[in-house]
Each structure stands twice: as C-alpha cells, then as structure tokens.
Amino acid sequence: MTGRLDSAQPYAIGLFRIVVGLLYACHGASSLFGVLGGSAGGGPEAGAWPFWYAAVIEVVCGGLVLIGLATRPAALIASGAMAYAYFKVHQPEGLWPLENGGESAALFCWAFLLLVFTGSGALGLDRLLSRGTRAQSAEAAQSAEDGQSAEDGQEPVKSAEAIRTAR
C-alpha cells in the first residue's frame, strides 16, 4: 500500500498545488477587483499599503502556483505575504487564529511553505519545461559526442573507425 501511495505522491502534490493556487488567486481577485463575492465597490485604491500590494501578490503568485510555473519562488513570496498578514493584521486582534480571524492566513502560509520544499509536483509547467530543457541538454550532449559543432557550422568529425576504413 505504501508503494502505491508513494507512486501517487507527485499527483497528490500537483492537485494540492492547483487547489491552493486557485483559492489564493480567487482570494486576491476578490480583494482586488471585488469579484467572486468581494466588496461591491471594488478593491483597495491602487498602491494602498498593504492591502493593494497583498491583493496583487495573491493574484500573481496564486496564478503562478496554480499553473505550476516558478512554483517555488512564487510560493515563497506568498508564504511570506501570509506570514506578514497574520502577524501584522490578525495577531494584534488576539493570540489564537480562531480569536483573530487569521486561520486562512496561517493555513495559506504553511501550505505555501510546504510547496517551497516539495515543488510543483505533477501537472505543472515547471516539470514540463524542465523535461524540455533536459531533452535539449541530452540532444546537445549527443551532438557534441558525435562531433557536431553548431557554433561554427563545420561538418561532423568522422569517427575513428570511419577514418580507418577509408584508408
């Protein structure tokens, strides 16, 4: 059973990343644009500290985490933003998250911190792009091994056996 669960781990992390990123981006869109149940008058005035910046971070980092692009740096920024939100906005209202209304800030902070260490998991653009980079690197290594030089446009160097048989 453990082996089966371990093999599904990248997919579970990928689904976790998608859900957390979507919820975070929706939270930011609600704050910034007044959509999805946000305030009818729109969000905070552009440049208003800290609420406008927090909403922009939520939309951008949530979107990046959702699609799995630059997941680790985006999750690190999002985790820091939620730690700031908890300690500067919520914690002065009471010691415990249930008292101060900071449950979502605390949960987002720890969820994003987890993604910093696990990465995007399956189903993310990070993994897709790294596969493409690895394939290009392997192709370049094979070309170099075959003696092809892309920079100078020279013809491939013949292998030692081909030279011997040509004599």
Is residue 61 pLDDT above 50, yes or no?
A: yes
* Higher pLDDT among residues 95 and 146, named by residue: 95
Please state, in angstroms and rounded to a whole number, the distance separating the CA atoms of residues 149 and 156: 7
- Assign 148 a pLDDT band (cuts: 50, 70, 90): low
pLDDT given for residue 47 in this prediction: 75
Among 28-37, 58-67, 97-106, the minimum mean pLDDT is found in: 28-37
The stretch 24-32 carries a mean pLDDT of 92
Percent of the chain with pLDDT over 90: 56
Average pLDDT score over the chain:
84
- Mind listing the pLDDT tens digit for each residue in 87-114? 999 999 998 999 999 999 999 999 999 9
Contacts of 55 (CB under 8 A, 6+ apart): 28, 31, 32, 43, 44
